[in-house]
Structure 1
Amino acid sequence: MADTYTVSRTLVVDAPPERVHAQLADFHRWAAWSPWEDVDPALERSYEGAGSGVGAVYRWSGNRRAGRGRMEITESRPPALVRVDLTFEKPFKAHNDTWFEVVPEGAGSRVTWTMTGRLTVVTRLMGLFSSMDKFLGPDFEKGLQRLKTVSESAAA
């Protein structure tokens, strides 16, 4: 069995790469499209560091489903890439590398969201019932669809 997992999803967005990248590189904008923002209506959020791009930090703490963790943008190459260092503290500890690639496609953008991580005891146990791809993939699809809606409706 592999020691790591990778989850990746892609969606075409009818918005230019610069507009999509702006949504990804600013954690303040994630509430409008992240698939996990609505799992806890009382979710506590805090922002540190840069306002957007490299050095921007987002922390969250919520109910059992939302958990607690931290994200930091470690690389931002407008309009093509945003890389995020993701650490989960609760409900279990995990460290993941997450990135968004934005590639021009016609008048729009092809956005690919990828996350890799090491399989822990908890994720291995989860894997007995479902793969990480099946577990997280639908959330990525939901988030990309929301990102599409937000990016397509955002003012040029």
Structure 2
Amino acid sequence: MNILLIILLSLAGLIALLFLLSLLMPKKHYVKREIIINEPVQKVFDYVRFLKNQEAFNTNAMADADRKKEFRGTDGTVGYVYAWSGNKDAGEGEKEIMSIVDGKSVEMEIRFVKPMKTSARILMELEPLADDQTKLWWSNAGELGYPINMLIPMMQKHVAKDMDKSLTNLKNILEAGTF
């Protein structure tokens, strides 16, 4: 009986420690990745501004091929919304184009319903390095409340890995001209 009590108290202490640590952890998350694509900036921009194109390169968009999709508005314009509902990997949510600066940037808001209710700002920024070379930055920023904020370090690592894979997919598609 004493061993069981010690185990239960230790477990309760560990859980309490995790909750206390998450009080001290940041609530904001931010991930930014970049890639150089050997194509002109306008060609890259004209591809990334359309949310439906993310089906071909974004690892998160590819998480569930059978997910239910809904589209509202005109793709590639401010106010366009791409919504989905899928398996546990894809979750449920929507992405909306918030602003576009032709040839320079596309800003979106992603709003998740499942696996947890949260939102983040996504920004894709482009810079021409040469006539046929573009640097693309992709950032994701948001906030998670207490106590979920204890997951931020793990989440940032996962998001960075997915963004790197997605950017490589995008580079391969654009440089191969397979779209």
Fold shared per TM-score above 0.5: yes
Residue 22 (structure 1) shift: 1.5
Q: Is the 2:92–2:114 contact (alpha carbons within 8 Å) kept by the matching residues of 1?
A: yes
* Deviations 1:79-136 (CA, angstroms, capped at 9, x unpaired): 1100001100101011101100010112210000001000234642324xx4332121
Q: Is the 1:123–1:132 contact (alpha carbons within 8 Å) kept by the matching residues of 2?
A: no
More helix per residue: 1 or 2? 2
Separation of aligned partners in 2, 1:120 and 1:135: 19
Letter in 2 for 1:11: I
Separation of aligned partners in 2, 1:10 and 1:119: 24
Structure 1 position 95 matched with structure 2 position 136: no
Distance 1:120 1:23, change over 3 A: farther
Equivalent in the alignment of 1:77 = 101
Separation of aligned partners in 2, 1:154 and 1:65: 29
Distance 1:123 1:98, change over 3 A: farther
SS state at 2:124 partner: strand
2:50 to 23, 26, 31: 26
Equivalent in the alignment of 2:89 = 65
Question: Which ranges in structure 2 are unaligned for 5 or more consecutive residues?
Answer: 1-24
Structure 1 position 144 matched with structure 2 position 173: no
Structure 1 position 131 matched with structure 2 position 157: no
Equivalent in the alignment of 2:3 = none
Taking only aligned residues, the RMSD between alpha carbons, in angstroms, comes to 1.8
Structure 1 or 2, whichever has the larger Rg, is 2
SS state at 1:131 partner: helix
Separation of aligned partners in 2, 1:138 and 1:122: 24
Equivalent in the alignment of 1:117 = 142
Residue 43 (structure 1) shift: 1.5
User: How many pairs were matched up?
Assistant: 154
State the TM-score, normalizing by the size of structure 2: 0.80
Letter in 1 for 2:161: P
SS state at 1:66 partner: coil
Separation of aligned partners in 2, 1:123 and 1:20: 36
Residue 40 (structure 1) shift: 1.2
* Deviations 1:43-64 (CA, angstroms, capped at 9, x unpaired): 2212111232212110011001
**Structure 1 runs of 4+ with >4 Å offset:** none
Q: Is the 1:49–1:55 contact (alpha carbons within 8 Å) kept by the matching residues of 2?
A: yes
